[in-house]
Chain A
Amino acid sequence: MSAQWDIAEPPSDAISALRFSSDSASRRFAVASWDKYVYIYEVSDDKQCLLLNKIEHRAPVLDVCFGKDNDEIYTACLDWDVRRIQISSNEQTVLSTHDAGVRNVVYSKEHGLVISAAWDSTVHVHPASPDAEWPTATINLPSKPFSLSLSSSKLVVAMANRALNIYELATLAKECKNSANALQNRLDIEPWQRRESSLKFMTRAVDCMPGDEGYATSSIEGRVAVEWFDPSNESQARKYAFKCHRQPVDDVDVVYPVNSIAFHPVHGTFATGGGDGVVAIWDAIAKRRIRIYPKLASSIAAMSFSADGRILATAISPGFEDGKEELAEGSIAIYIRELGENEVKKKAK
């Protein structure tokens, strides 16, 4: 079908993150790349994708997210800094500096927080508004963080050694304000829940359900787990994991990492993108695969649904994830797929 096309001006190097604006009226998305730029694109109605801006950093950018509006983004950069950037004015503000490369950054509209996680095993919690009365708070993590995800009320931090911490945003916000005078802004806060990943291998990505019920994690071993926040036994019994993004070659199953998980903001289904270049759409509740898209030229690096759920943007890049490390023609691309009304909807029972 002609519903998918690739954008004209993709980044020149591997893509690390792709995020749509949370503004449902907008079809703007930001892309972070290893070529040290953050790209801002907008999908227009006539199947065009315009490059609105391109913001240079000192080092490769590992994550990007939109802030309170379409004009504000936060970036996590390998130069250890977390930045706030005004797209229109190109104005950059360093919110904080970690002691290692910053892997993720997320923004909570509900609680006005910008949360970043870095390989120094810390999470920085920043006030989203520049005129906040409290400084950045630092939370120590037991392990290196690999992925962050926010729901409306929770923060999920997926870390090395299969560790997973869940924080309540409300508590975080309150503690941060209270501990404004704490020593070196260290925040000793117990996570709301500490969990061990249901997956036996390194966690690759985590994303929360739009309804705040739970989250899905993926591992480098072609597996995805779906779990629920509710600590009750009934809810915990519902958690499950499944294999995906594998390819039988001869007698061996080649297992790709699942690099990206994105929940659909409307339907609650989710997409997984693997090192095999395949995007699959799943129904977390019915435990069904809804759809699988044709294999793309290289590993899926990142995916995002637009806020209105009408578009799925998929970024592909070669990398360690698919065993390819050389840049081939067409191996870096961003595909825009306009979703049909029922394309990623749960199937009626």
Chain B
Amino acid sequence: MTKKKRGHPDVEEILSRPWCYYCERDFDDLKILINHQKAKHFKCDRCGRRLNTAGGLNVHMNQVHKENLNAIENALPNRAGLDVEIFGMEGIPEEIVQQHNQRVLTNFHQAEAERRAATGNLTPGAQGANGPKKPKFESPAELKKRLAEHKAAKLAAEQNGGGSSGSNTPTSAQVQSMPAQQPAQGSSTYPAYQQPYAPAPSSTTFAAPQTYNQPPAHGLPPPGYGAPPTGFAQNPPPQQPPYGQPTQSYQQPFAQPLQHPFQQPQFPMSTAFSPPPFPGQPPFPNQGYQSQVPQNGYSGQVGAPRAYNSASPASPFPHQQRTHSPAQNGLPPRTGSGSLPSAPGLPQRPVVNAPPVNAAQFQQMHQGQIPTQHNFTPPQLQQQTSVPKEEYNPAAPQIGMPHGLSNEAPGASSLDDLISSASKQADEQSARANTATPKPATPQTAPLATREEAVEEKSNKKDKDGKEKAAKPTRLVYSDNEISPEEKMASMPKYAFTPAQKTVQV
């Protein structure tokens, strides 16, 4: 057998370990257990002879030393009796075995829980178990939105039968710096995906992506968009003006596609991805990433991502699971059809589906995000920034977005404020749903710090334990260093002696 790489054994392994009835210690091997019993419990303290059983020791004591054995040495208080004949694992009463197993199991589970909390790893079954629960945490608006999105995705998938799969490596630089370039790349799925991300980083670059969205809103024919990506980039600029009206419809399509397609497919796949979007607008990509891909975030590539996860140290899992499960639920249709095609498809979806879904429901759903919508009226830049943000909230409501934005998104402070208020609302809602969620107020850096602190605390604890052994606070039972206990007693009235005679003599 190869050596186990995990430091912690299975339940079965632990349960199968032989253990000593008298002292509840467990051993690697039955032989060692028997040796232990002979040395610790069945050893004659008169002559040191090691007997095999308590009965044997008793007989030995009787015959050799003419003494009676009353109790087993070194045994737990309630196990010192001679009534049970123990040899190794044999002879242990059934109920004691069960008690022991129970204890072992509880210990194991406790240790496991601690380990999980410490490492941030999900339990194997946890995801499945929590998946179903997840939706409960979502607000009805979110649910509806997702449903709409799902439908849209289905339609989009049907329409765009085959999509080319885009490589993960985002050309953030390209996207950010040059809208013009996008057309060239348009064929690849990137632009679409990046859009959500990119929008934040560089508003200018977004112009292109936006154009996609806009067209649908305005009622442009979907087919045209989907087919030639290149055309999009160019088209958008002219179409921008119409914005003010369609804002609502706008956001909806955006928000939906962004959440689902992005979060799962891309993020998990490439941790490398995260960096590029960051420079422009770290807060968004990070959040999306981390919440979805905890491990990546942990890996420590980006400080910000960690912060998010850390922000909810209490239950890192639940968050992840939540974000995950929705994404997954929504995803299957899309991913199946091809998540990548969505790039061209993104714009399309809104067009096709938006009208049906746009109904009153959508507005209701977005009311929480309304502030951002108002912001849209301004030029595209704001819209773009605002849009991704809004979408973000639903995606990763737990995360303290507002701060991230304000911190890292330059020049969008007023917007950020509005967004933050909206996101806060979302956050609070989610927070109510998930008690474990961190307070949105915590700035990005803070969560990071908290996480580190948590880690440090742990290590500190260990250190403390070590140190305490070395320098434990002590309390002297008798602390008078000048007067001995006897002197104190002698000064008590009941012991007082008045040497009447002696004084005369002296």
A210 interface hit (Cβ, 8 Å): no
The residues in B between 456 and 506 inclusive whose CB is less than 8 angstroms from any CB of A are: 468, 472-482, 484-490, 495, 497, 499, 502, 505-506
Closest chain A residue to B46, Cβ basis: A340
Q: A233 on the interface (CB 8 Å rule)?
A: no
Q: How far is the CA of A248 from the CA of B472 in the complex (A)?
A: 9
Contact A220 B499, CB 8 Å, known A103-B486, A252-B473:
no
Provide the residues of chain A in CB contact with B502, threshold 8 Å. Answer: 79-80, 97
Contact B489 A2 (CB under 8 A): no
CA distance A33 to B278 in the complex (A): 83
A257 in contact with B485 (CB, 8 Å)? yes
Stretch from B69-77, B217-225, B398-406 forming part of the interface with A: B69-77
Nearest to A14 among chain B residues (CB) is B489
B68, B69, B71, B474: most-surrounded residue (chain A CB, <10 A): B474
Given A60-B490, A220-B478, A342-B47: A3 and B472 within 8 A (CB)? no
Contact with B along A307-349 (1 / 0, CB 8 A): 0000000000001111100000000000000001111000000
Interface residues on B, range: 35 or more
CB nearest neighbor in B for A16: B486
Interface of chain A, main secondary structure = loop
**Interchain residue pairs A-B with the least CB separation, the first 8:** A59-B497, A320-B485, A340-B46, A253-B474, A253-B472, A257-B478, A220-B478, A202-B481
Which of B46, B497, B505 is the one whose CB lies under 8 Å from A101? B497
Beyond known contacts A202-B480, A220-B479: 9 more, CB 8 A cutoff: A1-B71, A34-B495, A78-B490, A80-B497, A103-B484, A103-B486, A202-B484, A253-B474, A255-B474
Report the Cα distance A1→B480, complex, angstroms.
37
Bound: A3/B478 CA distance, A: 31
Q: Tell me if B45 is interfacial: C-beta within 8 Å of chain A.
A: yes
Residues of A contacting B477 in the complex (Cβ-Cβ under 8 angstroms): 254-257, 275-276, 321-323
Contact assessment for A80 and B499 in the assembled complex, using a CB-CB cutoff below 8 Å: yes
Say yes or no: is B29 at the interface (Cβ < 8 Å to chain A): no
- Cβ of A58 within 8 Å of any chain B Cβ, yes or no, is yes
- Which residues of the partner chain A approach B484 to less than 8 Å between Cβ atoms? 103, 144, 146, 160, 202, 204
B interface residue numbers (CB < 8 A to A) = 45-48, 67-71, 73, 468, 472-482, 484-490, 495, 497, 499, 502, 505-506
Query: What residues of chain A lie closer than 8 Å to B506, measured between beta carbons?
Result: 99
Q: Per a CB cutoff under 8 Å, which of A97, A320, A342 touches B489? A: A320
Task: List A residues 1-52 near B (Cβ within 8 Å).
Answer: 1-3, 14, 16, 34
User: Is A226 close to B, CB under 8 A?
Assistant: no
Residue of A204, A220, A252, A340 near B472 (CB, 8 A) is A252
CB proximity of B8 to chain A, nearest CB, Å? 27
Task: Name the B residues within 8 Å of A234 (CB-CB).
Answer: none
